[in-house]
Amino acid sequence: MNARLKSQLISYSFILPYMLIAVVFAFLPFLIVIMLSFYQGTLLDLNNLKFVGLDNFKKVFMNADLYLSAFYNSLFYAIVIIPVGQITALTLALLIRRKSRTNAIFETVFFSPIIISMTAAGVILAYVLDKMGPLNYLLALFGIPEINWFGDKIMSKLGVGILEIWKGATFYTFIYIAALRNIPADYLDAAKIDGVTWWQEIWHILLPLIKNAILLGVVMTTIFMFQIYDSIYILTGGGPLRGSESIAFLIYRVTLLDDQIGLGAALSILFLLFVLLISFIQMKLLKSETEY
């Protein structure tokens, strides 16, 4: 065995475990979903699936009104959670970007929601937002009428938004802190000598320099926002009247609760195409021509 081949084999052996996992748990299921979208059948008897061609896709478009509300809900989540979450994450990152003992404490505090499980966080928030829960009790003390978080389509979506932002936003804070701390000190020193204000420093120096990190954050959160499922399952169950159901939750309902695996797979494929399109547009819009 020559040295080059040996070196290549060693290199590939390092990525082999990941490749195996990716093939078994990502690529293979992806191919199976594509295949299932052309079949009809039940989860109970996967050996007797019936080939139906494009029937599942036709069904989705013919009964679009049954599925469109999940689509609109997902758009709502994206429009509300992405900007609010990203602005929160950026603000926090800018506030604690310098290394110090106090900021280390804040970093720990901001990191804590990430390590709490979604189930625990959801149960806590469900208790807080309950009609007879502590939040409405507090509001009543100030004479503010109670909020029916789970009986109103908009409020239930906002409840899910609060949970997602609380649980997820600070994750991006750490991505932005890492990017901010990588900016060479010379730039900031030079700016100081030039007498820039704090706002000019943020707007003209810091943000452009971490644009790639922001692009990563926005694209990642967009993909995650269209996939949200667990927070909805725990907090609202998709209700009221499926008013907080996301596309991912709809796919779960159609596939597992209604036992229509072919239809669920077709919805998944259409959903994938949609997310790819959105991500592509975002990358086109945010990609900077200038490299710093």
Partner 1 sequence: MLKKLGLLMLMCVLVTGVIAGCSSKGDDGSSNQASDGKTDGGKKVKITFWKAPHIKTEKDVWSTIIKKFEAAHPNIQVEFLETPWDGWDQKYTAAFAGSSPPDVSYLSEYFVKFAKNGKLADLGPYFTNEERTKYSQSVMDYLTVDGKVYTMPFLAGTSVVLYNKDLFEKENIEIPTTWDELLEAAKKLTKGPDQWGIGGLDTLNTVAFMGQAGSDLYAGNNKDVSKLGIDSPEGIKGFTYLTELVTKYKVAPSIDYYSKPEQENQAFYDGKIGMYFAQVSFTGTIKTNAPNLNYGAFINPAGPAADSAKQREAYAGIGSLAIAEASKHKDEAWTFIQYVTSPENAKMYLEPAGFFSPMPEANADMYVGDEVMAEAKKTIEGMILWTPNDKFGKLLDIIKMMRESAFRGVKSPEDAIKDAVKEYEAQ
Q: Say whether the peptide bond before residue 83 is cis (omega within 30 degrees of 0).
A: no
User: In whole angstroms, how far apart are CA 190 and each of 65, 128, 176, 193, 201?
Assistant: 58, 49, 22, 5, 11
Positive or negative: CA dihedral 229, 253, 156, 219 = positive
Q: Please state the closest distance from residue 258 (CB atom) to partner 1, in A.
A: 5
Q: 51 - beta bridge partners?
A: 39
Q: In Å, how far from its chain's centre is CA 170?
A: 13
Nearest CB to partner 1, comparing residues 72 and 280: 72
Q: How far is the CB of 152 from partner 1 (least distance, A)?
A: 9
Q: How far is the CB of 44 from partner 1 (least distance, A)?
A: 4
Least Cβ distance, residue 115 to partner 1 (angstroms): 23
- Asked if 248 and 229 count as a contact pair (C-beta separation under 8 A), the reply is yes
From CA 206, how far away is CA 261, in angstroms rounded? 48
Residue 213 or 234: which CB sits closer to partner 1? 234
> Least distance to partner 1 from the beta carbon of 59, Å?
7
Nearer to partner 1, 116 or 257 (CB): 257
Please tell me the distance from the alpha carbon of residue 127 to that of residue 287, in angstroms, as a whole number: 42
Contacts with 182 (C-beta within 8 Å, 6 or more apart), sequence order: none
Cβ closest to partner 1, residue 117 vs residue 288: 117
- The two tokens of residue 98 are 């310098």
**Residues contributing to the site for partner 1 (CB under 8 A):** 17, 42-46, 59, 62-63, 66, 130-132, 148, 150-151, 239-242, 256-260
For partner 1, the closer CB: 116 or 256:
256
**Beta carbon nearer to partner 1, 76 or 224:** 76
Tell the burial category of 175 from Cβ atoms under 10 Å away from its Cβ (0-12, 13-18, 19+): middle
The least distance separating partner 1 from the CB of residue 131, rounded to whole angstroms, comes to 5
Would you say 177 or 234 has its CB closer to partner 1?
234
- When the beta carbons of 121 and 261 are compared against partner 1, the nearer one is 261
Least separation in angstroms between CB 91 and partner 1: 34
User: What is the smallest separation between the CB atom of 263 and partner 1, expressed in angstroms?
Assistant: 9
